[in-house]
Amino acid sequence: MHLAEGILSAPVLACGAAATAAGTAAGLKAMQPDDIPRTAVLTSAFFTASLIHVPLGPASAHLVLNGLCGLLLGWMAFPAILTALLLQALLFGYGGVTVLGVNAFNLALPAALFGTLLRLPLRNPRGLRTVFAAGFAAGALALAGSTLLAALSLGLSGREFRAAAALLVAGHVPLMIVEGFVTASACLYLYRVRPEMLGAPPGGEHET
């Protein structure tokens, strides 16, 4: 979801920018040369998936894929998501430059946290059910976390935005389920063809 310019208070904008700078620094520090192609692909996927918007008051709803970014990139999701959001703001006017830090933080932090956590069971999965469950949880929980952070950003910026924050949360509940299934499906495919991208041992295509 993209929060629009001219809504958030200065303290919220400043905190979001500082937190995104810290997260991006951590992601860049963790990035190795071999990670660059994968990061670029996930940046493109995030950029494309979030181009289709459904307006919800001062924000919008759309497919995000930040859970998938988190599973495959960990903290490198910060620079990936920041880059995609910057391009969207400059090319299409989505969100805006002044709210870039807040939007990036709201989307990247849950992605990195839940992606890192739910990557653990994929190291030695007990078949495809584990892969599906981890993927679904990563997609749904990352979007849930991002939605709550966006709602919190609105709520902290003024009481007049609390109704919009509640609408934002309610509108994203169905999308959390969709996001979970999309991420789980992507994980099942990757587990069959490139299990190492999920941190799983080779031979995942033979698991049932």
> What is the distance of C-alpha 159 from the center of its chain?
27
Mean pLDDT of the chain: 91
User: What is the average per-residue pLDDT within 31-35?
Assistant: 95
What pLDDT is attached to residue 138?
98
Q: Tell whether the model's pLDDT for residue 9 goes beyond 90.
A: yes
Tokens of 23: 């997260």
Task: Give the single-character DSSP code of 17.
Answer: H
Question: Directed axis angle between helix 162-193 and helix 66-73, to 10°?
Answer: 50
- The confidence score (pLDDT) of residue 84 equals 96
Band of residue 58 on the pLDDT scale cut at 50, 70, 90: low
Q: How far is it, in rounded angstroms, from Cα 132 to Cα 137?
A: 8
pLDDT at residue number 172:
87
Kindly report, residue by residue over 146-180, the tens digit of the pLDDT.
999 999 999 999 888 888 889 889 888 989 999 99
How do residues 107-134 score in pLDDT, each as one tens digit? 999 999 999 999 999 998 888 999 999 9
Structural class in CATH, domain 10-206: mainly alpha
Q: What is the predicted pLDDT for the residue at 200?
A: 85
Q: What is the pLDDT of residues 65-82, one digit of tens each?
A: 999 999 999 999 999 999
CB 157 within 8 A of CB 10: no
Q: 50 pLDDT band (50/70/90 cuts)?
A: confident
pTM over 0.75: yes
Tokens of 166: 């509640």
Q: Could you give the angle at the alpha carbon of 195 between the alpha carbons of 194 and 199, nearest 5°?
A: 130
Categorize the per-residue pLDDT at 206 as very low, low, confident or very high, splitting at 50, 70 and 90: very low
With tokens 């063809």, the residue in question is 193
- Residue 113 is encoded by which pair of tokens? 């946290």
Locate the domains of the chain by residue range: 10-206
Reading the block at residue 36, the tokens are 């660059």
Distances (CA, A) of 154 to 11, 22, 75, 88, 201: 12, 22, 25, 21, 43
